[in-house]
Amino acid sequence: MLFINENKIQRAYIGVPSSNNEIPYQIANSIEIPCTIAYEYMFKPATHSFFNYVNSLAAKENCDFAVPLSPAKNNILGINAAAKIYEIGHLSLDRFPTPYDRLKTY
């Protein structure tokens, strides 16, 4: 993709939209750079286009998934046991930033 090459993008982080919009998955399937699919649902929706793309995305060597909780991880593994998944937590469950956090220097 021309935009990716022109801007020297080396990795894509693609969010799963709450709507059944298939464009993010089509982009993830078509790009050659490594990508992470960010699945932030904490439950499995009854129907969602994301699940139609799990197999093709998991089959890509340079594609992995980021999920908030182990049930979400299990939902993906139930479709494709070879999927590379990282359980990263969720800000609303793990910890909310405090005003003190803004004062820290790293």
Of 3.40.50, 3.30.70, 1.10.3470, 1.10.150, the CATH number of 2-103 is: 3.40.50
Predicted confidence (pLDDT) at residue 105 exceeds the cutoff of 70: no
Q: Which residues pair with 35 in a beta bridge?
A: 12, 63
Read off the pLDDT band of 85 (50, 70, 90): very high
Q: Which residue has the higher pLDDT, 41 or 13?
A: 13
Please state the rounded mean pLDDT for residues 29-48: 87
d(CA 93, CA 7): 35
